Amino acid sequence: MTAIRARGQYDAPPPRRRPWLRRHKWLLLRRASQFGVIALFLAGPMYGVWIVKGSLISSKTMGVLPLSDPYVALQSLAAGHLLASTTLIGAAIVLGFYMLVGGRAYCAFVCPMNIVTDAARWLSKRLQLPKGWTPPAETRFWLLGATLLAAVFAALPAWELINPVTVLSRSLLFGFGYAWTVVFAIFVFDFLISRRGWCGRLCPMGAFYGVLGAGALLRVAAKERERCDDCMDCFAVCPEPQVIAPALRGTQKDASRRILSGVCTNCGRCIDVCEKEVFAFSWRLAAVRPTGPGVFNTREGAREAGYSHVETTEGRKP
């Protein structure tokens, strides 16, 4: 194999595998965040520690900070109810926050349904089941529009009658009833019918946060993409693998290193799994350059990174 190296990169090879904790950092933080949110809500009714009241749909923290889910609020608005200022402020705070950290960070770090679909995916991979049916990528956006349309028709937030996300979060906090059937149905759907189908293709709530994410400031960037050795680990682990290629391979016109697609959940799994440490969180507006001389796959890659002089290993013994 021919590798093209920038000058001064003949140092000792990197360690073969990074420590386990390093490889699972964002996954662990994500699970801690997901369970932590539920625990905060449950601390009140279970132990009388009222830090957060309400549910993921609308809540009050420490008796002052109102938070409301903007998508549910939008449905209520579509149903013809002019929302009260508390909801509007609460929704605006949430909107602002996710405009900052990436809309679908909600999906990865807060949504309890994510644990269910991740479990379905893990099991399906473990049993080596086929990936199954993949609905067209834009389906979720159509469904998002349809839920708002249904709210107008029915004059109530119709999707909230079955929305598995809010049904699950409410059930965890207020008691399940038959809600487990909805959750189980989504699990089976993701497990047997369409791997990653729910979060990745259907969920209108995810679509809504995806729209927000299209302008969000915090982004994952393939900062050190010259180091990529095409192992495909990131593509395998990513819940939305289609977003990686433009940033990693520079196939977009502007060849940005940032993952610009709004559907990226900012889950950070690619940062976790990449042995070459290609990925890192970065801000949309910050300049993303590799931090130092690296290993490049092509002369163009090296030149783009700002190296005028490149040596190749061609003809050399590694």
The answer to whether residue 266 forms part of the interface with another protein (CB under 8 A) is: no
CB of 304 to another protein, least distance (A): 18
**CA–CA separation, 94 vs 72, rounded Å?**
12
In the block, residue with structure tokens 């699970």: 31
**CA–CA separation, 107 vs 98, rounded Å?**
11
The answer to whether residue 96 forms part of the interface with another protein (CB under 8 A) is: no
DSSP string, 7-25: TT--SPPPPSS--HHHHTH
- CA 152 and chain centroid, separation: 29
The answer to whether residue 44 forms part of the interface with another protein (CB under 8 A) is: yes
The answer to whether residue 153 forms part of the interface with another protein (CB under 8 A) is: yes
Site for another protein in 173-212 (CB under 8 A): 173-179, 181-182
Helix (H) or strand (E) holding 32: helix 25-47
- Answer for which of 69, 118, 190, 224 binds another protein (CB under 8 A) is 69
- Answer for which of 97, 99, 123, 142 binds another protein (CB under 8 A) is 142
The answer to whether residue 155 forms part of the interface with another protein (CB under 8 A) is: yes
Which lies closer to another protein via its Cβ, residue 172 or residue 192? Answer: 172
The amino acid sitting at 89 is: I
The answer to whether residue 305 forms part of the interface with another protein (CB under 8 A) is: no
The answer to whether residue 81 forms part of the interface with another protein (CB under 8 A) is: yes
152 DSSP 8-state letter: H
1 DSSP 8-state letter: -
* Cβ partners under 8 Å of residue 129, min gap 6: 191, 192, 195
> Which residues on adjacent β-strands are paired with residue 60?
53, 66
Could you tell me which stretch among 120-128, 132-140, 233-241, 264-272 binds another protein (CB under 8 A)?
Answer: 132-140
CB of 153 to another protein, least distance (A): 4
The answer to whether residue 161 forms part of the interface with another protein (CB under 8 A) is: yes
Which lies closer to another protein via its Cβ, residue 83 or residue 101? Answer: 83
- Answer for which of 4, 26, 68, 200 binds another protein (CB under 8 A) is 68
